[in-house]
Amino acid sequence: MAKTKVGVLISGRGSNLQALLDAAQDPDFPAEVVLVLSNKAGAQGLERARKVDVPTGFIDHTLYEDREDFEKDLDAKLREAGVQIVCLAGFMRILTPWFVEKWRDRMLNIHPSLLPAFKGVHTHERALEQGVRVHGCTVHFVRAEMDDGPIIGQAVVPVLAGDTPEALSARVLEAEHKLYPACLKLVADGKARVSAEAVRIAEGSEPDSETVLINPAV
Ligand SMILES: Nc1nc2c(c(=O)[nH]1)N[C@@H](CN(C=O)c1ccc(C(=O)N[C@@H](CCC(=O)O)C(=O)O)cc1)CN2
Ligand SMILES: NCC(=O)N[C@@H]1O[C@H](COP(=O)([O-])[O-])[C@@H](O)[C@H]1O
């Protein structure tokens, strides 16, 4: 069966990209990374892709006055490569509704918290400041609203006594590297069912008491 073609958008280190590249080495994995695009020329993730002969591209967002013009070039390269699913992996640009709608329910992002908790930045510092006992990461379909959208999967990471943001971040990152490939597999296999509950939570409702966290094979 033909593998789902994945394009990955990055801006930096690319450790989640590496996890997707590694997962795709398995002949039974239902997806293949066919293109890696970065908005930063020196992104370490570009070298990770080159090492395994995955085509890369650099599109400098600073050269565009209009955000949508940058995104139109992104979109053109993705379509040229036959991409069917886009994975954001530390891609540091807020995408406009135009791009988000073009890739609606075919674009995933990973966020280092148990959404809807701790949207935005500095998630580990905020989790420690608030004294939460569990933290973790989320893979979700991308919507125009930042860090919103139906949740595909989450991995729960316990907060340990004496945890620093660095130690917690490292533990969450390990979970990210397992969660992202597991969620991409669910989507590529057509098994990522977005429950009405997930949509309700994404739209700001409180989870029902019986809502449980889904840990797909993490
Ligand atoms: N419309 C959406 N775009 C993006 C989403 C999303 O859920 N909806 N997820 C992000 C998440 N993200 C990190 O992975 C992220 C990206 C961008 C920013 C941000 O503030 N960007 C600034 C520029 C920052 C910079 O260049 O260093 C901007 O775009 O003006 C925060 C978090 C990916 N996009
Ligand atoms: N709001 C989204 C966000 O904060 N994303 C986070 O950026 C990092 C990218 O690292 P990587 O380049 O090593 O994959 C990851 O920890 C990811 O969860």
Catalytic entry in 61, 111, 135, 177? 111
Task: State both tokens at 80.
Answer: 């040229």
Spatial distance between the Cα atoms of 205 and 61, rounded to a whole number of angstroms: 35
Instruction: Note if 111 is an active site residue.
Output: yes
Contact 148 CB / ligand 2 (< 6 Å)? no
The rounded Å distance from CA 100 to ligand 1 centre is 12
Note down pLDDT in tens along the chain; length 218 residues. 889 999 999 999 999 999 999 999 999 999 999 999 999 999 999 999 999 999 999 999 999 999 999 999 999 999 999 999 999 999 999 999 999 999 998 999 999 999 999 999 999 999 999 999 999 999 999 999 999 988 899 999 999 999 999 999 999 999 999 999 999 999 998 877 666 666 676 667 776 665 554 433 33
Integer CA distances (angstroms), 68 to 62, 94, 142, in order: 12, 11, 17
The rounded Å distance from CA 1 to ligand 2 centre is 31
Contact 144 CB / ligand 1 (< 6 Å)? yes
Residue 218, pLDDT score: 38
Q: Is the dihedral of CA 182, 35, 169, 141 positive or negative?
A: negative
Task: State both tokens at 193.
Answer: 């069912």
Q: Is the dihedral of CA 103, 105, 106, 109 positive or negative?
A: positive
Spatial distance between the Cα atoms of 129 and 136, rounded to a whole number of angstroms: 15
pTM over 0.80: yes
The rounded Å distance from CA 114 to ligand 2 centre is 14
Ligand 2 pocket, mutate which of 173, 174, 180 (most atoms under 8 A from CB): 173
Alpha helices in the chain (DSSP H): 15-24, 44-51, 67-80, 97-102, 123-129, 165-188, 196-202
Spatial distance between the Cα atoms of 27 and 39, rounded to a whole number of angstroms: 30
Q: What is the CA radius of gyration of the chain?
A: 17
Residue 72, pLDDT score: 98
Whether the CB-CB separation of 17 and 65 falls below 8 Å is answered with no
Ligand nearest to the CA of residue 13, numbered in listed order: 2
Spatial distance between the Cα atoms of 209 and 211, rounded to a whole number of angstroms: 6
Residue 150, pLDDT score: 87
Ligand nearest to the CA of residue 48, numbered in listed order: 2
Nearest in space to 78 (alpha carbons), one of 103, 109, 61, 105:
103
Alpha carbon nearest to ligand 1 atom 4, residue = 94
Alpha carbon nearest to ligand 1 atom 6, residue = 146
